[in-house]
Structure 1
Amino acid sequence: MDTNRTETDGRGITADDTGDSDRRTTRIPDTDGRFVVPLRGVAVDSETRCAHWDSPVDVVALRFGCCEAYYPCDACHDAVTNHEAEPWPRDRFDESAALCGRCRATLPARVFLDADDACPRCGVAFNPGCRAHVDRYFEV
């Protein structure tokens, strides 16, 4: 049975239906094999919560422009890489730059930033506090 199915909708959102509940720390150059995107972080669970952000609404991972990988937060990036973080570039806002930890949808940056703190695919709430430091993740 194929447990790594992927689907894409008309907005550029892709998703898979895999997942498990154990926590993993993944450092550069490796990535967490539970996800269809290159994801790294510290004590990451199957919905992208990490050692730094672990509430029910901390279910998004964001892609950094410097290394093309997704991280649950900037502290995870700093902990597991050997370079300075660079936010996702404005001229690439139509490319996938956010991962919903619940449904595994990948969202273009523009869709994520316009999503009103919830996944447009499954409706799960994202942490509204992330808006306070959006500049760490996206060129604004």
Structure 2
Amino acid sequence: MGSVKQFQVTFDCAQPERVAQFWCEVLGYVVPPPAEGFAPEQQGSAFACVDPSGVGPRLFFQRVPEGKIVKNRVHLDVRVGTGLVGEERLTALEAECARLIPLGATRVQLLLADEDNESCLVMQDVEGNEFCLD
């Protein structure tokens, strides 16, 4: 039995294009051309974004009728402070937060370092999906 080599992360959302464009800006991803055979009436119901280097996972955004009700069970960690500690880490987190807010992100909570974890910043994307800057 072979092991999985690739995966995508799928988001249920109300406005797939808007959410895909947000994540493209956050991660430096791009929206690929529509898949072959994608019917015109399906446009707008789903969007994807991909890492142009081919390293990161594909993100897929699909329209669903219901809205988000509770906290995500899975979230993305956007690694902006890797290897940084203390004030240097906080400065990197705050700088990325300041870049993302004009794109539609919402700052939720700064979690300061403790004996087990470094500081991270909880945020939400344009539809309220939680993610962390860490």
TM-score (norm 1): 0.27
Task: Return the structure number with greater relative CO, CA threshold 8 A, min gap 6.
Answer: 2
Q: Which one has a larger percent strand, Structure 1 or Structure 2? A: 2
Please identify the structure whose Cα radius of gyration is greater: 2
Normalised TM-score (structure 2): 0.27
